[in-house]
Chain A
Amino acid sequence: MDKHLPPNTIMISPVTRIEGHAKITIMLDDASQVKDAQFHVNEFRGFEKFCEGRYFTEMPAITPRICGICPVSHSVASAKACEMIMGITVPYTGNLLRRMIHLGQHISSHALSFFHLSSPDFILGWDSDPVKRNILGVAEKFPDLARRGIRLRKFGQELSERVTGKKIHIMGIVPGGMSFPLTAENRQALLDWVPEAIETTQMGIDLIKKYHQEHHQEVSTFANFPSMYLGTVGPQGEMELYDGKLRFIEADGTIAADQVDPKFYLDYIAERVIPWSYLKYPYYKPHGYERGFYRVGPLARLNVASKMKTPIAQKEFEQFKAIGQGQPVHGTFYFHYARLIELMQAVEECKTILEDSQVTQSKTQVTGRHNYWEGIGCSEAPRGTLFHHYKTDASGKLVNINLLIATGQNNPAMNRSVLEVAKQYIKGKDIKEGVLNRVEAAIRCYDPCLSCSTHAIGQMPLLIEVRDHQGGLLNAIQRG
């Protein structure tokens, strides 16, 4: 308990095992019942501001630094925005390689999220010793599984390393394509790794399905609430992780908008700045703030998609869809399952790419110059749809940058999930570690990367404000 907080406030901080830092405040009413919950984001990086004045083609190298786990998505969205400014089209092979590297990042990020960060909860139990409830604890009990999880993550990294020679902040994704080709030798090495990657992903899927069976009640009710969803789909409504058109669906599953070119995102998404978080609150514009609340990420992508692109993933997808019985799957816990199905499609799709006869061709890039003043690029980051929007002056210098990031879009939903869980699990002030962990787990379902989503600068003081459900200030806590 924080001594600065009023007696009827419970504070959980920091949320362990998510990238970045966060605080959750749960407010109790006079009867010690949960009244409201807020997930505070207090990290702050200001990329949009300090990129102003840079030449636009530098962005694909700058923006990957926003985030250590989804650098490729930033690079891709950024390169696409630059290509719109230049008015150029990426050559076939360049696009293949970019797609593969992007999928590779999904693989390593999802493997990290599931095997390292989330599996301890399922395998070791929610209420197990918190000191051991991590990947090391898993490795102790199930060494093969832990080792495979680590190798799967490595496979994802390898997909970019084998092309660019660098694992994390990749160089190589450039406006106009890729600055490196793939050698025949590297292609073979990656292909050889595919069967193991499929096997491990399948193990993850089996694990989560077993957990679903054994904990049916908990899983199906865990932070289960309706919302709209946004994801990227191909021309036939197939799930897309790299390039495609936007699809919004209503909470009952009907399509609200389909095949929307990402460059018109501002016609569909509006953002609201709220006083107690650095994250902006985006919503589906045609429905307004109250009704337009939507989610992005694996659960959203599977909910919006009509089908998957690859056979094994398709089989799982059908089982996933059955959970919803014709409706979207709203249970926040199903994020994990969705993430693994995506992971399967990503691995299978990499195989298809590697088998493409043109993947090792040397023409991977075209060049261009500053031709238009504005560019918008979009990609499906592991955590959801990502937009980069640049405006330049006549000489190509950036005058305005808008980065709409997945965790930002999920922020309203994260709050909602915390509230749902808190209502279900916290009764009164007597709180046990395991219960607190469930509240944190609701957040972890979204796998938020807070550093990259808190990018709006200068809108509020560096304090965390604790407010009651009517918005009145209860207390203010120093960051740190």
Chain B
Amino acid sequence: MPKISVKIDDKDLEVEVGTTVLDVCRANDIDIPTMCHLKGLVDVGACRLCLVEVEGTSKLLPSCTTKVQANQVIHTQTDKLKKYRRMITELFFAERNHVCSVCIANGNCELQDLGYKVGMENVRFPYLFQNCEVDSSHSKFVMDHNRCIMCTRCVRVCSDVEGAHNWGIMNRGYQVRIIADFNVPWGDSTTCTYCGKCVDVCPTGALWNKDATQGSMQKYPQAVSDLVEKREMKS
């Protein structure tokens, strides 16, 4: 692969053409928060946490879906970006109902970690207090829409890695919801294979195992990344 030069946060780097800004940063110990991104899944740029500033462009660009171009000068840690990251995090919390103290994912949650990371001490936006459903119709898993942040990792892992296409998306705006099949209770889905990959990749307490309890619910998003990598190596 041909190489190009870019400058990220004052570091001069030689990188392969076609690499995303995020991958370059991760490879060079530049820390950018992400939520919808998961190695092994197709990036969709849904959460906007990974935004970066590129000199010469007035728009902020999501690093997970933006490929590096020759001689770009990129900033990843400006005050403006930090402000937006914190704001986005607060909006996640304000949109649905996150009560960490009683949540199954408490202590094992990427969203909670993000809150600490961006220094969220309080939420400055009014909570929507949406009346979201808890779907416990599946014999093995629970889907709690109260804690879903619409990262769509579950949708992508189900269609692209498992090939089952159980999960989909319905509605728009704050009424957007993850649905099973054509909006049936998960337990009635005819496509779900009970593989549990969606539970493993879900960054929050939205998807969980029925026999888990607070403290014992561990997610393994890395398992999916590893699986995809091994499959790619084989082919």
Contact = CB atoms under 8 A, between A and B. Distances in A.
Interface of A: 53-55, 57-58, 60-62, 65, 169, 171-172, 174-175, 179, 367, 369-370, 395-397
A61 B187 CA distance: 25
Contacts of B139: 369
B213 A397 contact: no
Interface string B199-230: 00000000000110111100000000000000
B215 A55 contact: no
B214 A397 contact: no
B96 to A, nearest CB: 14
A395 B136 contact: yes
B215 A179 contact: yes
B213 A175 contact: yes
A370 B137 CA distance: 11
B215 A172 contact: yes
Contacts of A171: 213-215
B102 interface: yes
B216 A55 contact: no
B101 A169 contact: yes
B102 A61 contact: yes
Contact of A58 (B104, B135, B185): B104
B142 interface: yes
A60 B102 contact: no
A342 B109 CA distance: 41
B189 to A, nearest CB: 14
B216 A57 contact: no
B134 interface: yes
B211 A65 contact: no
Nearest to B185: A395
B101 A54 contact: no
A174 B216 contact: yes
A53 B142 CA distance: 12
Given A58-B102, A61-B102, A179 B213 contact: yes
A417 B144 CA distance: 46
A174 B213 CA distance: 7
A162 to B, nearest CB: 16
A57 B213 contact: yes
Which 6 A/B pairs are nearest by Cβ-Cβ distance?
A: A61-B214, A171-B215, A174-B213, A62-B102, A395-B136, A395-B137
B213 A369 contact: no
Is chain B's interface secondary structure helix, strand, loop, or mixed overall?
loop
Contact of A396 (B136, B213, B216): B136
B210 A55 contact: yes
A395 B139 CA distance: 8
A19 B192 CA distance: 49
Contacts of A65: 101-102
Contacts of A369: 139, 210-211
Contacts of B106: 61
Contacts of B185: 395
A55 B142 contact: yes
15 contacts: A54-B134, A55-B136, A57-B210, A60-B213, A61-B104, A61-B106, A65-B101, A65-B102, A171-B214, A171-B215, A172-B215, A179-B216, A369-B139, A395-B137, A397-B136
Interface string B36-63: 0000000000000000000000000000
Interface string B137-155: 1010010100000000000
A179 B101 CA distance: 18
Given A175-B213, A369-B211, A395-B135, 11 more contacts: A53-B133, A57-B213, A60-B213, A61-B102, A65-B102, A174-B213, A179-B215, A395-B136, A395-B185, A397-B134, A397-B136
A57 B185 CA distance: 19
Contacts of A169: 101
A397 B144 CA distance: 11
Contacts of B216: 174, 179
A177 to B, nearest CB: 10
Contacts of B101: 65, 169
Given A58-B102, A58-B104, A61-B104, A53 B134 contact: yes
Contacts of B136: 55, 395-397
Contacts of B144: 55
Interface in B159-217: 185, 187, 210-211, 213-216
A446 B40 CA distance: 60
Nearest to B137: A395
A59 to B, nearest CB: 9
Nearest to B132: A53
Nearest to A397: B136
A250 B87 CA distance: 62
Contacts of B135: 395
B215 to A, nearest CB: 4
A197 to B, nearest CB: 28
B132 to A, nearest CB: 9
A58 B101 CA distance: 11
